[in-house]
Amino acid sequence: MAIGPLYSNRHIRLAGLVALGLALLILRSTAEDQLTLKRDGKIISGRILEVNDGKVMVADQYGQAPYPLINVESATMTTPVEATKLQGAAPALVISTLEPLVKKFAGLPADWVVTAMGQLAEAYATVGKSDLATHTYDQIDALYPNSKYHLEAVAGKAGMCLQSGRIDEAVAAVQPIIDAANKNLAPSQAEGGLYAKAFLVYGQALEAQKKPGQALEAYLTVKTMFYQNSALADQASDLAKKLRDQYPGVGVE
């Protein structure tokens, strides 16, 4: 006679567990951002809201809490949608889109933030705002000292040297990056993008020095080894095509 109530209670408990599991799944799917802390490797999950006054504000199901940047080893954060739609965009659109994002998240040790800062600096340089471009590259070095992101600033400043005709200076700036990249047989996503920028500057500098074979090799290196950033890989393809059109029959030396 107890079978009915027992079955009913078990059914209710099962339904409750299923509902709890779904709730946790939904929570996990929305809490995509993570901070990894330096001291003990603790993971803080939630939604990264902003960086302000040296602290990262994170929201979760319990509310909002600040975490000092100095204690954050790395951050994993979903790239804002607007920052993913700028490939081939006019510099003015890049600037208007990325300025507020950089202001909001600069200092966060997340790859997309530094990439956005580099894109913003390039856009500034393209429209003749070299002072703002230099300031942005300097900001990368100041906010991310002794980190891989230093390569972004070096390659960016070398690109500015190239634009102003200081070819030898551009080559000298990126040469250490080129040497390091050639020794890295398994670059990460972030490293690949950083190396690619240096090789693009290097290739264009070699073109300016009338070394088409070496320039082509630089562009093809991006396509075959440092293709992790699709926008930079596409740029390398375009530069390689233009070079071959200008120098029919050119090959890698």
The class of domain 32-77 in CATH terms is mainly beta
* Residues 148/114, Cβ–Cβ less than 8 Å: no
* Residues 121/93, Cβ–Cβ less than 8 Å: no
Radius of gyration, alpha carbons of the chain: 24
Claim: this prediction has a pTM higher than 0.85:
no
**pLDDT tens, N- to C-terminus, the chain (253 residues):** 444 554 444 444 544 444 444 444 444 444 489 999 998 899 999 999 999 999 999 999 899 999 999 999 999 998 999 999 998 899 999 999 999 999 999 999 999 999 999 999 999 999 999 999 999 999 999 999 889 999 999 999 999 999 999 999 999 999 999 999 999 888 888 889 999 999 999 999 999 999 999 999 999 999 999 998 888 999 999 999 999 999 998 877 6
Position 156: which residue type?
G
Query: Could you state, in order of their start, the residue ranges of all structural domains in the chain?
Result: 1-30, 32-77, 81-246
* Residues 121/136, Cβ–Cβ less than 8 Å: yes
Q: What is the CATH number of domain 81-246?
A: 1.25.40.10
Phi/psi for 2 (5° steps) reads -85, 0
Give the torsion through C-alpha atoms of 171, 148, 125, 84, to 10 deg. 130
Closest CA to 200 of 185, 184, 222: 222
